[in-house]
Structure 1
Amino acid sequence: MLFLCFPTFLFHSAFYFTWLGVVKPRLTYSRELEMKTTLQELLIYIIFLTDLCILTFGMVSSDMYYLNKVMSNLFLDTSVSETDRTSFKTMSSMVDFWKFAEGPLLDGLYWDTWYNNMSLTSHRNSSHIYYENLLLGVAQIRQLKVRNNTCSIYPYFQTFLKECYNEYHYAAEDRSAFGLKNGSVWTYSSASSLAPWHWGATGFYSGGGFMFTLPKSKVESIEKLAILRRNGWLTRGTRVIFIDFSVYNANINLFCIVRLVVEFPATGGALPSSQFYSVKLLRYVTYYDYFLASCEVIFCLFIFAFIIQEFIKVRKLKTKYFKSAWNWLDMLLVSLSIFAIAFNMYRTVEVSLLMESLLSNAFEYPDFYFLAYWQTRYNNMIAINVFFAWIKIFKYISFNKTMTQLSSTLSRCAKDIIGFAIMFFIIFFAYAQLGYLVFGSQVDEFSTFQNCIFTQFRIVLGDFNFASIEQANRILGPIYFITFVFFVFFVLLNMFLAIINDTYSEVKADFAVIPSKEFEISDLIRQVKMLWRKSYLSPHPFS
């Protein structure tokens, strides 16, 4: 009933607001009327913002975190045996990978018995991880390799070293068949054009490779992995292995798409990492989902109205339209919203096609990773959209005296802050380069230049590990830390605060000397109440 009444309310409100904001300004244009129009626009925008928040919070739930947690505990923390404590997180070599693949991985994927060792006959030919999460199709394992002689050997060592495998690059990727040279296990398979590349710890990996799928039976999977291990499927040129599979939990209507990654860098050893995406791909199941669907319709109507409004502004203001930061923010919000609507439509169609393919052949790997990858990027985009949507509220409350003081303070001290920022970042980046060169080979927080920058911001906020710096260099470590804290924290940071405080004091003094002739928001609200009362007590102006 509320959903049916809302469009009627919105229509009458828009009609009334239009009368106040369009017809009235033709008669008399004053600051009071401008503030009234702004407040009316604010009320409509709050309705839009409420609808947007309902949609965004309807996409997430605490069940996503718990599903990721139980799945990660199962596949990342489970050890090989009571005597061998090797797990996915502690993996350090190719030997450890085979132990994990033939042990905790298969034990986690195939659940065909109850806790009392009774066979799950009702779940024949399917696996229910933790008895609640249906394994969709089968799991896929894929590796990428590099060619031999892709790096240069120093002449002194050429007599001792005949093979050289560089770190992973797309140009150095080995696509030639090897081993038994039959099937996709031993021959290279190209990726689809839409397959996302993987950003790992040591490289940026393409979507192709040498891949195979595990059988539906645990016994057959053990035999297949044993054959690959005996025939040397992993070589010195192997740089990364991907283990992909997906599960669906009908209790909470969530898909969990899992990707386990093991990188074998050119230095030797293994670097394990993982990705767990819990996403809601089937949107309309419960009554609450249909309520969200109604909110989506309202959201689309709002966006359509905003598009028309922006076109009218561009046509009226022309080039002046692009000189306002608020107009750029409006264009950003509308653009992100249009993309969100288009992605929702595409996702609905793509999930239907994937489900049809899965139901027709349960022995294939369903590529839900592609949808999960873009779903998470979509969620990030929506989060940014909601953030800027809240920031836009400042556009409607800028007539308030306090907000005017704050905006005047920032605009007046902008030049001083820019000059200070140049000096600050010169010193900041000088310390970052010093830390990278001195501690980069021994301290994880300084292992890359980007890590140095974030580490120094953490030091400013009080989060630091002085013992690791001192252990890396007993002389330069304390000198670096003490001088950085003194110059950046005690000097530069306080200079920044002093610039803003002095400017704010000047602006506040100017506002105290010059009497304000503008309406306060309390007066405006009282006048709006009187207008509403008159509209109900007197005949309609257009009747």
Structure 2
Amino acid sequence: WACRVRAGLASVSHRVFTCGFRHKSSQGWDFTRRITRRKLILLEPRTGALRMATAQANEPPMSRPSTGRSSTMQAWETGLENPNVLDTEPIAVRGQSAGGHRQLDADGKDGDGDGKSGCGCLKSCKHGLQSIWRTRDTQDTKEDRELYIKTTLRELIIYCIFIIVLMIITFGMTSSTMYYYTKVLSDLFLDTKIENTTNNYRSVGNMGDWWSFVNGPLMNGLYWDTWYNSANFSDPREKNFIYYENKLLGVPRLRQLRVSNQSCNIASYFQGKISTCYAKYSYGVTDKSSFGLGNSTAWQYRSEEQLDGRSHNAEISSYDGGGFAVELSRDKATTQAILKELYSKLWVNRGTRAVFIDFTLYNANINLFCVIRLVTEFMATGGCLPTWDLRTVKLLRYVEPMDYFILACECVFMLFILYYIVEEALEIKKHKWRYFRCFWNCLDILVIVISTVCAAFNVYRTVAVGQKLTTLLQDENNFPDFDFLSYWQQQFNHGIAITVFFAWVKIFKYISFNKTMTQLSSTLGACAKDLMGFAIMFFIVFFAFAQLGYLIFGTQVKDFREFQQSVFTLFRIILGDFDFNSLQTANRVLGPIFFILYVFFVFFVLINMFLAIINDTYSQVKSDLSMQQNEFEMTDYFKQRASRMLSKLNLRRDKIVDIQKAIQSADLNNDKQLDFEEWRAELKQRGYADGEIEALFAKFDLDGDRVLNEEEQRQMHLELEGQRENLDQMINSKQAANEELEPDDEDEMEADGDALPAAATAASTRTSGGGGRGRGGGRKLVSPAEFQVLVKRVDRVEMSIGDIVQKIDSVLLKLELMERAKLRRREAMTRVLDALSGMEGAGSDEAERSRRAEELMRAELERWDVDTATAAASSGLGRGADSARGSRELRSASSTSRK
């Protein structure tokens, strides 16, 4: 069957697809086929009757394009091998179009009527919206391999775009500049030496050291009143720029928390000797009463709400956001006077448990804030422990052009989040509670929730920073508390980082069609129960060692000072990071014993058992996966797509060649003039539609005289030749690309030494209709992995068949031995009976006959025993058992004969 499109009929509606079929045979059949949604309309030119048939719902798609076809429609070949599908009942034609036919819609009605076009548009819109959220979980892709591949690739491409947008947002808001900014400020405030000492803030150990730090490195670091050459600033606004670049926002704040006297119980033995007792800090023993001068905020307690503060977790304890606070000045001399008064009046004394130094810097060059908090904890043991927190954050997000580009990406990111919210809602609607049984679905929900929370905070942060800066600019002598915003900005960064992590892990969901990519998840899933069971035993032993280390070394070794620190230290020992000298110094006997026992039982035994479980499961999973086939091979899919594209290019090239031949043969009168009728008649014979013929002729008929002269024919030939050369180049490039993909597979198959079976080759070869160079996209073989799987399956089948054949042979041999035994028994019995009958005929007495019978029986038994031994040696126990049974039967016959 050849296939072409017949134009010239009535205008085709959006629901009708018209194809023409022409069969060149002696019968001269010529069909025009209209494919509506579910019906076929066929025309028989000889009778002029139209026939309608309902198309089967599961009619397979037509496989290949033909050589002759319309440029506006693509006709596909079809079998039409089953004429019984068509209903031969004629239908009435209510009108005719320009081509002599009336267009019918899907219900057999006149296509010119409105019908239910509005409903069709709604259905089309609904179908279009549903196709946007089409996934493997919302579509039935189990039976349709092509739909599964397309849906998987579509999901993967969309998700890759989502990942790219997320990466732009994440890495656009952080950079290495943040690290260097933090490093510069930490060197200034933490590592600057105190005057006349070798100490810095990191090594502050008592109240005197703390005051020396405040009056020295802190004051010099906060107030930059002159240039490096001691010259004054020409503009007063240039003051208070640390390192001449970082502006001090507002004023710094000092805040302390205290505990009251008699907050702890003194042992009865010392109550007469010790009159004061200050406990370690807790909220219940906080001293809120005024002390010292009591005439300013430095000596009066203010609550967390009054200070707009927030609790803080330090090294020793967690501290409330209230306290005794004093705001310093933007002028260095004024600040020194405030500090001098606090120092002289013992603002820091035995009741002090923590002192906070808070200030905020902003660098306009890099648009970054640095919120600094220096915390000094005064322990109940005496002395102090300094800690610090420097948060470099970008609170003003949209300043430079790149920032606005990131803003656009954030908007796109929110559209993606809305898209995935709808997608997950549709999947939940379809699968109900079964949706949450899948790990990847739970991961989707987690990513959506974290992203939504981060987006909400992004909006809140933008508004809050604007309000705080507006208030600060109105009065620069206030303390700007950016601690809350900087803290939640850090949590925002952490949330985005977690989202990025889970987003990258989620890629495994879309590449799980490849068995290699599922090895990790399959291994962990297969050994999960074994790992959980063994983990219980492991952590029992591990926490036993952690408690032992904490109780033995907790008072002397820093790494074991707390139970959680002891746990972390033991994990570090597993990784090879340990300090054996500290254990040995703490206890020369128990230290080495503890270390050796822990390393032996936990590291050499338990950890290696973990690895053995995983390794054994991995080997099993890898063996199972080697026997499985990938859900689809990506390279094979793209090869098929390339082959289809190559086939289409070949069809276009063949059409151009066909038109070139038509130009040469259409001039019947050889007048070198090609009129329209000659052109139309020639192309009609080649199966082209009137619309194509008219359009192509009019393109080169420049003077409009309906005749193509030599120049116009030459122009047509040159343009067609140029198009053909371009197509040849495209075909060659496509073929070269296919050859780059296919030789590796073929070489691997040849290296195995086995040729692919002819049936498999035929099944995996794609062909297209028509001839011509490169038609059908070439031969396509199975992949090496598929071939190896087939070889292994054939080997297993052959082994199974071999076992079956061997068992059948054994059964047949036993049957043969049984038959031989029966024959021997029959012959033996016949000889014995003949001998007995002969003795009776000879008139022998009873004693003689009995003696002769005994001798015959004994001779037969001896011969039977010899045969039995020979059979047992040659044929095994089966035949020997039959012989033994025969011997017993002969003995039974002998006794019967004797009787």
TM-score scaled by length of structure 2: 0.56
Identical columns (%): 52
1:430-453 Cα distance to aligned partner (Å, 9 max, x none) = 111111111111111111111111
Query: Which residue does 2:548 correspond to in 1?
Result: 434
Matched, 1:469 2:586: no
Q: CA deviation at 1:517?
A: 6.7
Q: Which one of the candidate residues 240, 243, 251 is aligned to 1:127?
A: 240
1:411-439 Cα distance to aligned partner (Å, 9 max, x none) = 22111111111111111111111111111
1:430-484 Cα distance to aligned partner (Å, 9 max, x none) = 1111111111111111111111111111111111111111111111111111121
Secondary structure of residue in 2 paired with 1:519: coil
Q: CA deviation at 1:528?
A: 6.0
Deviates more, 1:403-412 or 1:292-301: 403-412
In structure 1, C-alpha distance between the alignment counterparts of 2:647 and 2:301, rounded to whole Å: 77
Matched, 1:59 2:173: yes
Query: Which residue does 2:348 correspond to in 1?
Result: 234
Matched, 1:148 2:261: yes
Query: Which residue does 2:734 correspond to in 1?
Result: none
In structure 2, C-alpha distance between the alignment counterparts of 1:197 and 1:154, rounded to whole Å: 33
Secondary structure of residue in 1 paired with 2:304: coil
Matched, 1:331 2:450: no
1:286-323 Cα distance to aligned partner (Å, 9 max, x none) = 11111111111110110111111122222222222222
Higher relative contact order (CA 8 A, sep 6+): 1
In structure 2, C-alpha distance between the alignment counterparts of 1:118 and 1:321, rounded to whole Å: 72
1:131-187 Cα distance to aligned partner (Å, 9 max, x none) = 111111110000001112221111111111111111111111111111111221111
Aligned residues: 523
Name segments (4+ residues, structure 1) moved above 3 Å. Answer: 14-22, 24-29, 123-126, 524-538
Kindly indicate whether the alpha-carbon contact (under 8 Å) linking 1:55 and 1:295 is maintained by their aligned counterparts in 2: yes
Q: Which one of the candidate residues 75, 85, 94 is aligned to 2:198?
A: 85
Kindly indicate whether the alpha-carbon contact (under 8 Å) linking 1:175 and 1:209 is maintained by their aligned counterparts in 2: yes
In structure 2, the CA distance between the partners of 1:29 and 1:225, relative to structure 1 (3 Å rule), is: same
One-letter code aligned to 2:216: G
Q: CA deviation at 1:259?
A: 0.5
Query: Which residue does 1:420 correspond to in 2?
Result: 534
Query: Which residue does 2:279 correspond to in 1?
Result: 166
Kindly indicate whether the alpha-carbon contact (under 8 Å) linking 1:126 and 1:216 is maintained by their aligned counterparts in 2: no
Q: Which one of the candidate residues 313, 327, 335 is aligned to 1:221?
A: 335
Secondary structure of residue in 1 paired with 2:325: strand
Secondary structure of residue in 2 paired with 1:398: coil
In structure 2, the CA distance between the partners of 1:164 and 1:21, relative to structure 1 (3 Å rule), is: closer
Secondary structure of residue in 1 paired with 2:285: coil
Query: Which residue does 1:137 correspond to in 2?
Result: 250
Query: Which residue does 2:613 correspond to in 1?
Result: 499
In structure 2, C-alpha distance between the alignment counterparts of 1:414 and 1:170, rounded to whole Å: 44
In structure 2, the CA distance between the partners of 1:151 and 1:18, relative to structure 1 (3 Å rule), is: same
In structure 2, C-alpha distance between the alignment counterparts of 1:262 and 1:140, rounded to whole Å: 14
Kindly indicate whether the alpha-carbon contact (under 8 Å) linking 1:177 and 1:187 is maintained by their aligned counterparts in 2: yes
1:499-542 Cα distance to aligned partner (Å, 9 max, x none) = 11112222233334x4537322322344566789999999xxxx
Query: Which residue does 1:99 correspond to in 2?
Result: 212
1:238-285 Cα distance to aligned partner (Å, 9 max, x none) = 100000001111111111111011000111101001111111111111
1:106-152 Cα distance to aligned partner (Å, 9 max, x none) = 11100010000001131348401011111111100000011122211
1:173-214 Cα distance to aligned partner (Å, 9 max, x none) = 111111111221111111239743110111101111100111
Query: Which residue does 2:404 correspond to in 1?
Result: 290
Residues 345-494 of structure 1 mapped to structure 2, 5 A cutoff = 345-494=459-608
Query: Which residue does 2:855 correspond to in 1?
Result: none
- Highest Rg: 1 or 2? 2
In structure 2, C-alpha distance between the alignment counterparts of 1:491 and 1:314, rounded to whole Å: 45
Deviates more, 1:121-130 or 1:58-67: 121-130
In structure 2, C-alpha distance between the alignment counterparts of 1:532 and 1:180, rounded to whole Å: 91
In structure 1, C-alpha distance between the alignment counterparts of 2:419 and 2:129, rounded to whole Å: 13
Q: Which runs of 5+ in 2 are unaligned?
A: 1-127, 652-899
Kindly indicate whether the alpha-carbon contact (under 8 Å) linking 1:322 and 1:328 is maintained by their aligned counterparts in 2: yes
Secondary structure of residue in 1 paired with 2:263: coil
Q: Which runs of 5+ in 1 are unaligned?
A: 1-13, 539-543
Secondary structure of residue in 1 paired with 2:201: coil
Kindly indicate whether the alpha-carbon contact (under 8 Å) linking 1:80 and 1:104 is maintained by their aligned counterparts in 2: yes
Query: Which residue does 2:426 correspond to in 1?
Result: 312
Kindly indicate whether the alpha-carbon contact (under 8 Å) linking 2:264 and 2:278 is maintained by their aligned counterparts in 1: yes
Query: Which residue does 1:6 correspond to in 2?
Result: none
In structure 1, C-alpha distance between the alignment counterparts of 2:143 and 2:236, rounded to whole Å: 74
In structure 2, the CA distance between the partners of 1:27 and 1:323, relative to structure 1 (3 Å rule), is: closer
In structure 2, C-alpha distance between the alignment counterparts of 1:85 and 1:455, rounded to whole Å: 31
Query: Which residue does 1:7 correspond to in 2?
Result: none
Secondary structure of residue in 1 paired with 2:153: helix
In structure 1, C-alpha distance between the alignment counterparts of 2:273 and 2:184, rounded to whole Å: 49
Kindly indicate whether the alpha-carbon contact (under 8 Å) linking 1:435 and 1:452 is maintained by their aligned counterparts in 2: yes
In structure 2, the CA distance between the partners of 1:27 and 1:169, relative to structure 1 (3 Å rule), is: closer
Q: Which one of the candidate residues 281, 305, 328 is aligned to 1:192?
A: 305
In structure 2, the CA distance between the partners of 1:530 and 1:311, relative to structure 1 (3 Å rule), is: farther
Kindly indicate whether the alpha-carbon contact (under 8 Å) linking 1:412 and 1:503 is maintained by their aligned counterparts in 2: yes
One-letter code aligned to 1:313: E
Secondary structure of residue in 2 paired with 1:141: strand
Secondary structure of residue in 1 paired with 2:358: strand
Deviates more, 1:218-227 or 1:194-203: 194-203
Q: Which one of the candidate residues 43, 66, 72 is aligned to 2:157?
A: 43
Query: Which residue does 2:810 correspond to in 1?
Result: none
One-letter code aligned to 2:546: A
Secondary structure of residue in 2 paired with 1:233: coil
In structure 2, the CA distance between the partners of 1:161 and 1:313, relative to structure 1 (3 Å rule), is: same
Q: CA deviation at 1:334?
A: 0.6
Kindly indicate whether the alpha-carbon contact (under 8 Å) linking 1:440 and 1:446 is maintained by their aligned counterparts in 2: yes
In structure 1, C-alpha distance between the alignment counterparts of 2:644 and 2:132, rounded to whole Å: 14
In structure 2, the CA distance between the partners of 1:533 and 1:296, relative to structure 1 (3 Å rule), is: farther
Kindly indicate whether the alpha-carbon contact (under 8 Å) linking 1:112 and 1:123 is maintained by their aligned counterparts in 2: no
One-letter code aligned to 1:439: F
One-letter code aligned to 2:429: R
Q: CA deviation at 1:80?
A: 2.3
Query: Which residue does 2:454 correspond to in 1?
Result: 340
Matched, 1:113 2:238: no
Query: Which residue does 1:182 correspond to in 2?
Result: 295
Kindly indicate whether the alpha-carbon contact (under 8 Å) linking 1:137 and 1:362 is maintained by their aligned counterparts in 2: yes
In structure 2, the CA distance between the partners of 1:355 and 1:534, relative to structure 1 (3 Å rule), is: farther
TM-score scaled by length of structure 1: 0.91
Kindly indicate whether the alpha-carbon contact (under 8 Å) linking 1:149 and 1:165 is maintained by their aligned counterparts in 2: yes
One-letter code aligned to 2:355: I
Deviates more, 1:322-331 or 1:404-413: 404-413
Residues 262-277 of structure 1 mapped to structure 2, 5 A cutoff = 262-277=376-391
In structure 1, C-alpha distance between the alignment counterparts of 2:640 and 2:485, rounded to whole Å: 52
Q: CA deviation at 1:27?
A: 9.7
Residues 527-538 of structure 1 mapped to structure 2, 5 A cutoff = 527=640
